[in-house]
C-alpha cells in the first residue's frame, strides 16, 4: 500500500496565482518541446443520455510527474466532472488525486497565456475576448500576467453575460474592460484575440484581423467546433498545442483544409517547440499568429503538480491509500 493525497476543488481554489499557473505550464511545454511524451484527448460519446467521457495524459520527466485528466460531460446531470490523477514519474507511485473543477479554467488559461507570450508582439496592449464564461475569465486573468494590457473588449451574444464579465474583470484587473455589441467591434483594433466559446461556426471575420495580431483559440477540440474561419487559419502562422491532434479534432484547421486553403504543411510547429527554442515564434511585427489550444495533459500535469506541492507545504488534503498490482487479491 502507498499513501496519496486527495485535494478537493475547494482546497485548490485560490491556492495558486494565475502567474504561478503560467510559470508551471510554460515549463511543462518546454519539456514537451524537448521530447516529453503527451497524448491528445481520446473521447467516447454516448447517445442516450447524450454525453462524453474524455481523457488525455502526459509525462513531464523534469517535473517528476505524470498523469492527466479524465472527465465526464453531459449525461443525465448535463454538467462536467473533472478528475486529475498524478503519479511520480520515477517510481510510478501515485502522488495525488485532484478534483479538477476549480483548476480547470486556470490551467487552460495558463496554456493560452503561454501561447500569447510565445507568439504575440511584445508591445501588445489591446485584447479582444470572445466568450464570457469561466474559461474566458481564466484566459484573461492569465494573459494579463504576460502582457501589459491597457484595454480589453469582450463580446458574448448575451448582453447580460458580457456586461457581467466586464464588471467583474474591471474589479480584478488594471486594464479597462468594456463590453461591446459585436465580435467585429472587439476584434478590429485588438493586438490579441482570444476565443473561448463552444461555437460550431466562426465567431469573427478573419479579414478584420490587422497585421501583427495574435489569436488564441481554445474552444476547438471537436471536428465540428470551429471558432476560426478559413481566412484566419490561412493568414496565420499556425501553432497547435499538439501536432497529432490537428487532423483529429482541431475543427477550424480541419475545415480550412477541407476548403482547400491549407494543407498539413501549414502547421508551423507545436507550442512546446517554440517555447523550447526548437522553432521560431513570431518573426515580424506584421505577421498574424494563431495558437490552437484544444487541451492537453501537459498543462494539466504541470498545474496539478504545482498545486500538489503547494498543498503539501500548507498541510492541505486528505490521505488515501492505494494498493499496487502486486497486492491484488486473487482469491483461492
β-pair type (65-74, 38-46): unpaired
> What is the C-alpha R_g of the chain?
20
Sketch the domain layout of the chain as residue ranges. Answer: 2-104+297-327, 111-292
Letter string b/e over residues 32-67, b meaning 16 or more CB atoms within 10 A of that residue's CB: bbeebebbbbeeeeeeeeebbebbbbbbbeebebbb
Query: What is the rounded distance in angstroms from the CA atom of residue 176 to the CA atom of residue 243?
Result: 36
Residue 327: its pLDDT value, please?
A: 86
* Tally of residues, the chain: 332
Residue 331: its pLDDT value, please?
A: 57
What pTM value is reported for the model? 0.95
SS3 228: coil
Phi, psi of 31 (to 5 degrees): -65, -40
CATH for 2-104+297-327, options being 3.30.1780.10, 3.30.470.30, 3.90.180.10, 3.90.480.10: 3.30.1780.10
Query: What is the rounded distance in angstroms from the CA atom of residue 223 to the CA atom of residue 252?
Result: 8
Residue 330: its pLDDT value, please?
A: 67
pLDDT per 10-residue tile (average), the chain, 332 residues? 95 97 98 97 92 96 97 90 97 97 96 98 98 96 98 97 97 96 96 94 97 92 88 98 94 96 97 98 97 96 98 97 86 54
Domain 111-292 falls under CATH 3.40.50.720: yes
Place of cell 484527448: 41
* Secondary structure, 3-state, 44-61: EEECCCCEEEEEEEEEEC
Residue 76: its pLDDT value, please?
A: 87
Residue 329: its pLDDT value, please?
A: 72
Contact present, 302 and 2 (Cβ < 8 Å): no
Amino acid at each position: 500500500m502507498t499513501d496519496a493525497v486527495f485535494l478537493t476543488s475547494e482546497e485548490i481554489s485560490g491556492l495558486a496565482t494565475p502567474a504561478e499557473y503560467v510559470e508551471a505550464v510554460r515549463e511543462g511545454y518546454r519539456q514537451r518541446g524537448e521530447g516529453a511524451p503527451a497524448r491528445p484527448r481520446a473521447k467516447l460519446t454516448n447517445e442516450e443520455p447524450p454525453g462524453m467521457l474524455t481523457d488525455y495524459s502526459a509525462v513531464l520527466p523534469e517535473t517528476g510527474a505524470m498523469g492527466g485528466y479524465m472527465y465526464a460531460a453531459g449525461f443525465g446531470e448535463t454538467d462536467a466532472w473533472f478528475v486529475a490523477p498524478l503519479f511520480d514519474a520515477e517510481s510510478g507511485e501515485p502522488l495525488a488525486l485532484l478534483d479538477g473543477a476549480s483548476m480547470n479554467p486556470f490551467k487552460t488559461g495558463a496554456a493560452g497565456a503561454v501561447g500569447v507570450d510565445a507568439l504575440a508582439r511584445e508591445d501588445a496592449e489591446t485584447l479582444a475576448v470572445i466568450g464570457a464564461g469561466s474559461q474566458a475569465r481564466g484566459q484573461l486573468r492569465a494573459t494579463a500576467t504576460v502582457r501589459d494590457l491597457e484595454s480589453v473588449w469582450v463580446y458574448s451574444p448575451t448582453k447580460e453575460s458580457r456586461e457581467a464579465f466586464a464588471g467583474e474583470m474591471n474589479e480584478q484587473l488594471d486594464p479597462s474592460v468594456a463590453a461591446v455589441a459585436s465580435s467585429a467591434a472587439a476584434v478590429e483594433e485588438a493586438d490579441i484575440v482570444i476565443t473561448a466559446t463552444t461555437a460550431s461556426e466562426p465567431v469573427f471575420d478573419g479579414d478584420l484581423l490587422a497585421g501583427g495580431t495574435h489569436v488564441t483559440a481554445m474552444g476547438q477540440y471537436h471536428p465540428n467546433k470551429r471558432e476560426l474561419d478559413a481566412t484566419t487559419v490561412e493568414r496565420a502562422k499556425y501553432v497547435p498545442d499538439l501536432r497529432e491532434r490537428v487532423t483529429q479534432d482541431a475543427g477550424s484547421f480541419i475545415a480550412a483544409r477541407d476548403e482547400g486553403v491549407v494543407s498539413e504543411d501549414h502547421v508551423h510547429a507545436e507550442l512546446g517547440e517554440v517555447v523550447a527554442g526548437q522553432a521560431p515564434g513570431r518573426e515580424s511585427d506584421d505577421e498574424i499568429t494563431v495558437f490552437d489550444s484544444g487541451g492537453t495533459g501537459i498543462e494539466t500535469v504541470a498545474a496539478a503538480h504545482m498545486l500538489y506541492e503547494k498543498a503539501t507545504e500548507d498541510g492541505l488534503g486528505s490521505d488515501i491509500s492505494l494498493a499496487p498490482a502486486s497486492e491484488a487479491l486473487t482469491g483461492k
